[in-house]
Chain A
């Protein structure tokens, strides 16, 4: 009698596990399908349809930051800056709530599947959230709003690494560089200098070429702030012999072009599924791998009445993501191993009472064990930047993107002293 009751409970437990695993499985499949469609819409420039396709994610408790980050990006591509600002602010709140640990999600991540946990953006995505929010404010002409983002970037990076203020996988170079541009436009040259210095160190740390515009900014500001030793180090390192003094540029306006090129890499589920020779128990190791999607853009140019600047690559979200994934791999492998052990133990428990349910549990558990392929997929593959300092006046501004008609444009622009005009072009893969 007692044994029969115990068996019933084991069967109930198995059914309960199946009931929790299968909805998770269904949820993951839906997530993949939605994003492929969203990206196709973005490549076609159909942002309205992309937003509609994103909507099923709205109600997903585990994917709130993912929904809001992508929504914010699509809204900004569509030109709805207010909507984008709102979505990104909500994303910040959602990410903030995830700083605390969820015991149930942690246990589920180690025993059921990676996707049973809330999507928590890595540091580089968090940084780029601030970068795109900063660009939203700049495009709206709200320099103070952009300055708030610059301060939040600094605060966030000091939390991550109080010593160096650096991001573990990168992504901080553009964030610091843009912060410098914002501080400079606000007339806060010492803060701009500090931000440019951080950006310079970030490029060095990531073994990337320091953009020419940043080199000139470092020389100009160290000169203006009487940091002569540091200025001489920069002039020697960059081979700069002449520059326009900062006091002259204070009366100028700045025009900054940013090209958001391609889409960030897609994470793919790379699974290995084998049956154990003796027991027939299914062992599945599911890990994510990167699939890059560059747009193949060779360059871009910003011009104004004959003055021109080439857009240089200033951020590499795809490379940063590669570093991040490499750093995550040991813990991902440990969790994948732990899930297999947990599944094996659960199946063995049920097997004695009901081989059929044990068989189903084994299959369902193995199939449900997916790699976490969630990421902010509407980020670009890389970002290019060009900056012009122009005297106040009226200009015919040109954006030339070789081989692309979508982003190239000419427009008349009236500039006043101290203006900071930011032009953004989002070129999704194939766009």
Chain B
């Protein structure tokens, strides 16, 4: 009886003390960490890398260069989140932009939201900068192609197990004549098993 009571008290105190400790670990950003099973930074990075790799390996760049003689200028348009969870599409768009720019095979044009602040800066330069250093208006590069897309999900649940199927569709459209020059698709399937007990 005495030993049992001692054991219970020690266990209780141990659990209480363990719950009080906060621990922070620094981990590599490339290391995949899935806490909830939802779309995360690893998914965003992997999908953008694979899709941009596919985009750049197709023949549309060569065809554009043969026709116009220079690298195609690309702009990223809207990537709509049609999934069942709130996904910050801005980080996904940034990942795509990074991959495209770093490839060196295309020229990249700033998105509409950013252009406004750049134009404000140019106007400011016209008023305040030395004339030989100010960038004049009307010299912007018009994009040849716009990249748009959607993120969709299909969810299936049985008891404490959930299967999340993500499908990312991207399309590159010519701004000259609205023709699609590339369509890509990437799927991710995640199985989430939720625990029965918590502390």
Contact = CB atoms under 8 A, between A and B. Distances in A.
A27 interface: no
Given A9-B1, A89-B86, A96-B36, A144 B80 contact: yes
B196 interface: yes
A209 interface: no
Nearest to A152: B84
A147 interface: yes
B177 interface: no
B183 to A, nearest CB: 21
Interface residues of B, number: 21
Interface in A101-115: 101-104
Contact of A155 (B1, B155, B198): B155
Contacts of B82: 144, 147
Interface in A281-301: none
Interface in B81-97: 81-86
B137 interface: no
B195 interface: yes
Contacts, number: 48
A100 B85 contact: no
Contacts of A147: 82
A157 B1 CA distance: 49
Of A5, A100, A103, most B-chain CB atoms within 10 Å: A100
B1 A6 contact: yes
Given A89-B86, A144-B80, A155-B84, A102 B198 contact: yes
B36 A152 contact: no
Interface in B135-176: 153, 155, 157
Contacts of B199: 102, 104
A329 interface: no
Q: Is the interface of A mostly helix, strand, loop or mixed?
A: helix
Contact of A145 (B84, B86, B157, B195): B86
A28 to B, nearest CB: 20
A97 B198 contact: yes
A55 B83 CA distance: 34
B67 interface: no
Interface string B40-84: 000000000000000000000000000000000000000011111
Contact of A5 (B2, B84, B194, B195): B2
A97 B36 CA distance: 10
A99 interface: yes
Nearest to B195: A100
Interface residues of A, number: 26
Contacts of A144: 80-82
Contacts of A140: none
B194 to A, nearest CB: 6
B86 A100 contact: no
Interface in B110-148: none
Nearest to B84: A151
A100 B194 contact: yes
Interface string A1-25: 0000110010011001000000000
Interface string A140-171: 00001101100110010011000000000000
B166 to A, nearest CB: 13
A148 B84 contact: yes
B197 A101 contact: yes
Contact of B196 (A101, A104, A145, A152): A101
B2 to A, nearest CB: 6
A100 B84 contact: no
Contacts of A9: 1-2, 5
A158 B157 contact: yes
B198 A148 contact: no
B9 interface: yes
A108 to B, nearest CB: 12
A89 B88 CA distance: 13
User: Could you say which of B81, B83, B196, B198 has the most chain A C-beta atoms within 10 Å of its C-beta?
Assistant: B198
A104 B198 CA distance: 9
Given A96-B36, A99-B194, A103-B197, A151 B2 contact: no
B152 to A, nearest CB: 10
Interface string B6-49: 00010000000000000000000000000010000000000000
Interface in A73-124: 89, 93, 96-104
A153 B113 CA distance: 32
A-B complex: 8 closest residue pairs judged by Cβ atoms: A100-B198, A151-B84, A100-B195, A102-B198, A9-B5, A101-B197, A148-B86, A144-B81
22 contacts: A5-B2, A6-B2, A9-B1, A93-B36, A96-B36, A100-B194, A100-B195, A100-B196, A101-B196, A101-B198, A102-B197, A103-B197, A144-B82, A145-B86, A148-B81, A148-B83, A148-B85, A148-B86, A151-B83, A151-B153, A155-B84, A155-B155
Interface of A: 5-6, 9, 12-13, 16, 89, 93, 96-104, 144-145, 147-148, 151-152, 155, 158-159
Given A100-B194, A158-B157, 11 more contacts: A5-B2, A6-B1, A12-B5, A93-B36, A101-B197, A144-B80, A147-B82, A151-B84, A151-B153, A152-B84, A155-B157
